[in-house]
Amino acid sequence: MRIERVELREIPLALRDRFEISSGWRHDRRIVLLAVYGDGHVGWGECVAAEDPSYSYETTDTAWHILATFIIPAVLGSEPDSAADVLAPVDWIRGHRMAKAALEMAAWDLEAKTKDVPLRVLLGGAREEVAVGVSIGLQATDDALFAKIEGHLERGYRKIKIKIKPGRDGEMLAAVRRRFGDIPLMADANSAYRLTDLPRLMELDDLGLLMIEQPLAYDDYLDHAELQSRLATPICLDESIRSVDDAQLALKLSSCRIINIKPGRVGGLASSKRIHDLCQEAGVAVWCGGMLESGVGRAHNLALATLSGFTIPGDISESRRYWERDIVEPEFEMSDGIMRVPDGPGIGVAVDQERIDAMLDRKDVFSA
């Protein structure tokens, strides 16, 4: 596989609804797409970095800079044996895993297309369809939250994830339980709490939650370990897991019982597979989270979620959950909480490049 040309594009894409978490909200997204050309094919990747550094220090603009200045020039013209090796020339770059993942995942798509196999096959996926859940942002009132949940349950989603923060947590979740009964329910705090909130968090043990995701700081493993030792409800780590080493540390310290693997956060699909394998050996459940991706990133997440260790429905969701119109064809749809994985080569969906170029905010082309 030879990396002959790389194209960077940024497009604006508005979410159907404002999406709020404990650290802020999103509506108008700046989507960075990366296309890698080689051997008569093109592979697509997406950078999941947000517009501001509330989730990660990486942002849309820092990712563009790192890709254009360091990563792409280093890999251009290279001939890696596989997509898993494409980032070898930039091992010296510290961090910036979201930027690295955008190119690495595009290379996986390219390799799968050159071999004429679906990406899930190249990854070693064990299934052709995936159970999916949905993530619901913070709502102003319980009634607004109930309406969202009802709509998603009618659509058939297999897991309901609700964003929480101090003041919108225990009472709200208890109201959901009273209204909807024993639905598969979890809470996501996005680091909104501290260990001093232990009494408040212990109250959630009575609600039968699947898990509490990332309750404490993104870089705090010791306090998560202390909290997990006091809670019956499993803690799931998200922002804390940026690499295999992070996952090993969390498991060693018993900081969690579940890990959310987002390929764009951990540096790509090869790193995701290693974390998956590590967790399988340790008997720790994993699932695939979402980061408000377009259909390009969604396709990669769906392929990853076919690996056997992904036993919890992921936040993959169908295209219309987030976008009035996605940038891939066909768009991702769901039936009874199940999404079939496209069976075409690579990510299995066609990228609407004509529409993308019509919306273009900026573009950069790199040729070997």
Helix axes 244-253, 222-230, angle to 10 degrees: 40
| Rounded distance between C-alpha atoms, residue 265 and residue 244, angstroms | 12
Q: How many helices (H) and strands (E) does the chain have?
A: 13, 15
| Rounded distance between C-alpha atoms, residue 120 and residue 305, angstroms | 9
How far CA 82 is from CA of 85, 115, 164, 210, in Å, comes to: 5, 11, 41, 37
- Is 262 annotated in the active site? yes
| Rounded distance between C-alpha atoms, residue 273 and residue 88, angstroms | 17
DSSP classification of residue 2: -
Q: Which residues touch 213 (CB under 8 Å, ≥6 apart)?
A: 161, 186, 187, 188, 189, 190, 235, 236, 237, 238, 260
| Rounded distance between C-alpha atoms, residue 200 and residue 220, angstroms | 19
Task: Kindly name the residue from 100, 113, 161, 163 that is annotated as catalytic.
Answer: 163
Number of other CB atoms surrounding residue 273 within 10 Å: 19
- Is 163 annotated in the active site? yes
Residue with tokens 């990133």: 297
Give the angle subtended at the CA of 238 by the CAs of 232 and 243, to the nearest 5°. 120
Strands (DSSP E) contained in the chain are 5-21, 24-38, 41-47, 129-131, 134-136, 160-163, 185-188, 212-213, 235-237, 258-261, 285-288, 328-329, 338-340, 350-351, 362-367
Q: 197, 166 in Cβ contact below 8 A?
A: yes
Task: Kindly name the residue from 100, 113, 262, 273 that is annotated as catalytic.
Answer: 262
| Rounded distance between C-alpha atoms, residue 212 and residue 245, angstroms | 22
Catalytic annotation, residues: 163, 262
